[in-house]
Every structure is written in structure tokens, then in C-alpha cells.
């Protein structure tokens, strides 16, 4: 995982080198200032024995060095910001791009809130960790080595005492950091589940109110929130132990150094100025251990978040198009399905030994009870899923030999579930045909009977709707989706309960528009309301993944079989 993270950091190597150089300058200057401070102290020998000119020169030198050190640290922080935010931006782009290439089965098995948490929350956590730790560790190491060397030069024995006591601080930091990572990973996982739950509840708020499930949902959220609280408390508890624990050890070392240094001064082995410098170095020497220990705990949380984000980026993508996959310029619409078998889970069979032959321009209606495989068949035609067995051919060519983009461009698809993006009506209608003119867009809207309500909106086609099209009725949203499909001028059509949210009067008008749009085009119509499929050339009656009846409306009614039972249950009130 760390190697994968490094791949995103390497492109910023120039910024990293500059950051390290500025960190080095800042650290070295910070080390030199205590030496000048000690020399300044030694220039003050007693009453009437002060070298004022020397003291003034030293003070000016210290001020200049402090200014340059601060400026270097500011440049370092700017560079670190660019590195950390740039890395996270690249990883977010990679994660978002990966989501667009993931197979539908992955998206079906993971909540949108969980994915949202990884792309937003985990990336933010990673950014904070990188921002805090990118240069502090390097600066801390330089400071530790520099101060240690200077202390050994001033007094070898006291310097060696510091070296011997240093592993105590490192051992404490390592012991705590190892436990922090596991709790940070657990915290990130629970946070992702909570984000998914909140996203789900907000999306289904009306249903929750309609069924008076507010209290139950609140209890479920409270339980999840309590779980996050426990995970967060444990992660925070262990991460918060690091700094005070190492600070206690380091302060103890500082006290020992002060006492040992005082005895050295009394014995004449060290001047007061040297002791001042030594104590300053001892403080600088121990401080990085506190900072690094805090950074390490932050990095544990960042690495846990990075693992979740990288695991998304590394997910297996939708199988790529074959190297020799073709991209037909146009499609006639002849579809042949042979020996098709498919199931979402191996132990639960769905579609088995399915055969179908559709001539160009035919309109195929698919009816049957819920769960019989109607929408699954559509998913297979669009190649959202690949069959486990058998083959689907379009114009005599296996769809696995056609580029996915070309195949999907050939279909105009209107689903029962409407999807509208945040933007203007115009942007939503031209989503599948950005090159379409405004005149073509308006004509399509008029044909689909959407133009009248669009013109009543405050800004007409430039009216902004938010994600999901809130403020529009279900029927209006569906009319926009129908218009969007019509404007893309597809070679083939898939209508999956496309008029389920539209009133009967408008539905009749839409059916007329559909008939006009479907002229000469192969169309698949999935419907529960049999009134919408009476004009279809072929009606497929599906049950348990198999075609149990096939024919046009009149033929199936005469058979008085499965379709006849469905028809009577809808129009004559008799049960199947």
C-alpha cells in the first residue's frame, strides 16, 4: 500500500526536494541561533564587564538568522501544502475515474455513502496527515542529529547521557503508534458506514415519514453513531497518549541534562554561555520527539484512510474491450440471443437457456411478475453484465466483440428511476447529445410534451435544478428523461417502465411520441401496465427467467394462457 501511495507522491519530487532544502535551512539556522545566544551570554561577564558592541552584533545576527529561518519555514509550508493537496487531488481523480470504470456488480454491492466516504472523508484525512507530517519528520531528524552533534562537541559525557536515554522516547512512541493504526482503520470503516446510512436516510426521507419510522431510524443511527464514538474514542485515546508520554520522558532527560550541566559549570568544565547553549540544544533535541510522535499518530490515521482509498482505486475494473473490438458506424438493430444463462449469485438461478431473435425495427415488449428477469435482460443487452453462458449478437456480431461505448451509444434508454444532474434543464436534456441545437432540443421537448411545463419554470430551459430534480414532480422528471433519450437519436431503444410516473392522459400522448420515435428502430419495452404494450410486434411473457409465452397481443389473448391471466388481473379484476 505504501508503494502505491508513493506512486502518487513521486510526480511532486521537485517540490519535495525544495521543501527538504528549505526545511534543512530552517533547521540549521535554528541550531546556529543557540550557539550565538551562548556566545552573547559569555560576553556579559559581570557588572561593568559587558562587551556591548559584541552583544549588539550578536543580537543583530540572531535577528537576521531568525528572520531567514522563519521565511524558509513559510516557503516549506507553502510547498508542503502544494504536495499534500496535489497528491490528494490526484488520488480523488483516480478514485472518481475508477468508479466510472467499475463493473455494475461492484456498485450494486456497495452503498453510495460508503464510496462517498472514501473519496471525500478518507481523502481529507489523508491530506491532513500528509500536510502535518511531510516535512516535520525530516526537520525533526535534522534537528535531532544536529543538536546531538553539537552537544557532543560541547560536553561528550552529557551528550552520551542524552544518547543513552533517547531510546526510551522512541520505544514509547513506537508502542503507541502500532495500536493507533488499527483503531484508526476501524474508525474510518465505521465512519464510512455512517456516511452511507445518512445518505440513505436523506434520500428516503419521504418514505420514512410516510411509514412513521423516524424513531426506528433514529435508533439505528444512534447505534451506529455510538459504534463510531467508541471507535473514535479508542483511536483518539491512543493517539493522545503519545505526546504527553514522550514529553514526560523528554522533560526528564532535560532535567538530568540541566543538573549535569550545572555540576560541569561548578567544576569549570563548561562556561555559563555553553550551558545556556547546551540547555537550548537539549530542548531542541527533545522537542522533535514530541512533534514526530504526534505526526506518527496522525500518519497512522492517514495511512488507514489511504488504504481504503487505494483499495478502491485498485478494485478490479470492468473487463476491457477486446483489442480487435469494432466500433460500427451504425446499427440495423437485429438482435439474436442464444442459450443465454445468467444469475447474480451462483446458488440462485435467474435466466436459463434463453433464446430470442429480433428483426430490425421490431418492437419487443417484455412482461411478467416482479423478479422474473425483465430488467436483468436489459442489463445484459446493454452489457452492464456479461452472460455466464450463451451469446448475445447485434447485427450478427457478438456484443463482446463490439466496443462498449459504441454499443451503449446505440441504445436510447429511459428507466423507471429518473436521474437528473445538478445543472440547467438545457444541460440535462443535452446530456447525451451535447452537439444538438436548441431548436432540436425544443422540438424534442414539444414532441414529449415537456416544453409546456419547462416554459413555466422561472428561467425556462436555463432553470437550474439540483441533484435528483427536487421541485419537479415524478412525471415531469420522467418527461425530461424521455426527451433526453429522444434527443440523442439512438439506433435502438430500451424503455423500462418509462411512463410509470405519468398520468394516463399524458401517457397516451407520450405513447404517440414513442411510436414516432421508434419508427424503423428496434425497441425493447419493459412494462407492468399491459396497456402500454398492446401495439408491440412481439410480447415476451417471462417467468422465472424463461420465456413462457411469445406472440402479439391478439394471439396471446386467444391462447388464454399466462398473458391472458395477467391481462384479466389488470383489466377485469380477476387474480392470476
Task: Give all domains of the chain, ordered by start, each with its CATH number.
Answer: 2-313 (1.20.1560.10), 335-571 (3.40.50.300)
| Sequence-ordered list of residues with C-beta below 8 angstroms from that of 37, at least 6 positions apart, any chain | 58, 62, 273, 276, 277, 280
**Is residue 461 classed as helix, strand or coil in its secondary structure?**
helix
pLDDT exceeds cutoff 60 at 331: yes
The confidence score (pLDDT) of residue 574 equals 47
542 close to 367: Cβ distance less than 8 angstroms: yes
**Cell numbers standing for residue 489:** 437519436
Write down the pLDDT at residue 54.
77
CA 516 to chain centre: 42
List pLDDT tens digits, range 381-406.
888 888 888 999 999 999 999 988 88
| Set of cell numbers at residue 552 | 402479439
Q: Is 1 exposed, middle or buried (0-12, 13-18, 19+ CB in 10 A)?
A: middle
Q: Cα–Cα distances in Å, from 85 out to 11, 22, 92, 102, 573?
A: 13, 19, 10, 25, 63
Classified as helix, coil or strand, 364 is strand
For residue range 488-519, what is the model confidence (pLDDT) as tens digits? 888 888 888 766 666 777 677 667 767 767 77
d(CA 275, CA 326): 80
Give CA–CA dist 382/406, Å, rounded.
11
310 Cβ neighbours under 8 A, 6+ residues apart = 1, 4, 5, 91
The mean per-residue pLDDT over the stretch 338-357 comes to: 83
Supply the angle between the helices 136-154 and 156-203 in degrees, to the nearest 10: 170
Where residue 134 falls among pLDDT bands split at 50, 70, 90?
low
pLDDT of residue 187: 80
Instruction: Encode pLDDT of 294-304 as tens digits.
Output: 676 677 777 77
The confidence score (pLDDT) of residue 576 equals 41
Q: 257 versus 452: which is more confidently predicted?
A: 452
Can you give the pLDDT at residue 575?
A: 43
Give yes or no for a contact between 39 and 33, defined as CB atoms under 8 angstroms apart.
Answer: no
> Does residue 536 carry a pLDDT above 50?
yes
Summarised one tens digit per residue, pLDDT across range 263-284 is 777 777 777 677 777 777 777 7
Neighbours of 211 (CB within 10 A): 11
Q: Is the pLDDT assigned to residue 132 strictly greater than 70?
A: no
Give pLDDT tens digits for 179-208.
677 777 788 788 878 877 887 777 676 667
317-326 mean pLDDT: 83
Please give the DSSP secondary-structure letter assigned to residue 399: G
Could you tell me if 335 and 356 are in contact, meaning their C-beta atoms sit under 8 angstroms apart? yes
Better-predicted residue by pLDDT, 432 or 437:
437
Lowest mean pLDDT among 207-211, 385-389, 421-425, 555-559: 207-211
Q: Hey, how many other C-beta atoms are within 10 angstroms of the C-beta on 505?
A: 9
Q: Please report which helix (H) or strand (E) contains residue 466, including its range.
A: none
pLDDT digits (tens, 9 = 90+) for 39-59: 777 677 656 666 777 778 888
Amino acid at each position: 500500500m505504501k508503494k502505491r501511495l508513493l506512486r502518487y507522491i513521486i510526480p511532486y519530487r521537485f517540490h519535495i526536494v525544495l521543501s527538504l532544502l528549505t526545511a534543512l535551512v530552517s533547521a540549521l539556522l535554528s541550531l546556529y541561533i543557540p550557539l550565538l545566544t551562548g556566545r552573547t551570554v559569555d560576553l556579559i561577564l559581570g557588572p561593568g564587564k559587558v562587551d556591548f558592541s559584541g552583544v549588539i552584533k550578536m543580537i543583530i545576527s540572531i535577528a537576521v538568522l531568525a528572520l531567514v529561518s522563519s521565511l524558509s519555514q513559510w516557503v516549506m509550508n507553502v510547498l508542503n501544502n502544494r504536495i499534500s493537496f496535489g497528491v490528494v487531488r490526484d488520488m480523488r481523480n483516480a478514485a472518481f475515474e475508477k468508479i466510472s470504470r467499475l463493473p455494475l456488480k461492484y456498485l450494486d454491492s456497495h452503498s453510495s455513502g460508503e464510496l462517498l466516504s472514501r473519496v471525500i472523508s478518507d481523502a481529507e484525512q489523508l491530506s491532513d496527515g500528509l500536510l502535518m507530517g511531510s516535512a516535520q519528520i525530516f526537520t525533526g531528524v535534522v534537528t535531532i542529529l544536529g543538536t546531538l552533534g553539537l552537544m557532543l562537541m560541547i560536553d561528550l559525557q552529557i551528550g552520551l547521557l542524552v544518547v543513552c536515554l533517547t531510546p526510551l522516547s522512541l520505544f514509547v512512541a513506537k508502542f503507541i503508534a502500532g495500536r493507533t493504526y488499527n483503531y484508526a482503520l476501524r474508525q474510518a470503516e465505521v465512519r464510512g458506514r455512517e456516511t452511507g446510512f445518512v445518505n440513505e436516510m436523506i434520500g428516503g426521507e419521504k418514505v420514512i415519514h410516510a411509514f412513521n419510522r423516524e424513531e426506528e431510524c433514529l435508533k439505528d443511527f444512534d447505534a451506529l453513531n455510538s459504534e463510531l464514538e467508541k471507535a473514535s474514542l479508542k483511536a483518539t485515546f491512543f493517539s493522545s497518549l503519545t505526546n504527553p508520554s514522550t514529553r514526560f520522558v523528554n522533560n526528564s532527560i532535560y532535567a538530568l541534562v540541566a543538573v549535569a550541566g550545572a555540576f560541569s559549570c561548578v567544576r569549570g568544565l563548561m562556561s555559563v554561555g555553553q550551558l545556556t547553549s547546551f540547555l537550548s540544544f537539549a530542548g531542541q533535541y527533545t522537542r522533535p520527539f514530541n512533534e514526530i510522535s504526534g505526526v506518527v499518530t496522525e500518519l497512522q490515521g492517514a495511512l488507514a484512510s489511504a488504504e481504503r482509498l487505494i483499495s478502491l482505486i485498485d478494485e478490479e475494473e470492468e473487463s476491457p474491450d477486446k483489442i480487435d473490438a469494432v466500433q460500427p458506424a451504425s446499427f440495423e438493430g437485429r438482435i439474436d440471443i442464444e442459450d443465454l444463462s445468467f444469475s447474480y449469485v451462483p446458488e440462485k438461478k435467474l435466466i436459463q437457456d434463453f433464446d430470442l431473435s429480433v428483426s430490425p425495427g421490431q418492437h419487443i415488449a417484455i412482461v411478467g411478475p416482479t423478479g422474473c428477469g425483465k430488467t436483468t435482460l436489459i442489463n445484459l443487452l446493454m452489457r452492464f453484465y456479461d452472460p455466464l453462458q450463451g451469446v448475445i449478437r447485434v447485427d450478427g456480431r457478438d456484443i463482446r466483440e463490439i466496443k462498449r461505448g459504441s454499443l451503449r451509444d446505440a441504445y436510447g434508454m429511459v428507466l423507471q428511476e429518473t436521474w437528473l444532474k445538478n445543472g440547467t434543464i438545457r444541460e440535462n436534456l443535452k446530456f447525451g447529445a451535447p452537439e444538438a441545437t436548441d431548436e432540436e432540443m425544443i422540438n424534442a421537448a414539444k414532441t414529449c410534451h415537456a416544453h409546456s411545463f419547462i416554459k413555466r419554470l422561472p428561467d425556462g430551459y436555463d432553470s437550474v435544478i439540483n441533484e435528483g430534480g427536487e421541485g419537479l414532480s415524478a412525471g415531469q422528471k420522467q418527461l425530461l428523461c424521455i426527451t433526453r433519450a429522444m434527443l440523442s437519436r439512438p439506433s435502438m431503444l430500451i424503455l423500462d417502465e418509462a411512463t410509470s410516473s405519468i398520468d394516463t392522459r399524458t401517457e397516451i400522448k407520450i405513447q404517440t411520441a414513442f411510436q414516432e420515435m421508434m419508427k424503423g428502430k428496434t425497441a425493447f419495452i419493459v412494462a407492468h401496465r399491459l396497456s402500454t404494450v398492446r401495439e408491440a410486434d412481439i410480447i415476451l411473457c417471462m417467468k422465472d427467467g424463461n420465456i413462457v409465452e411469445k406472440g402479439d397481443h391478439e394471439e396471446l389473448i386467444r391462447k388464454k394462457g399466462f398473458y391472458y391471466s395477467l391481462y384479466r388481473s389488470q383489466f377485469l379484476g380477476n387474480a392470476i
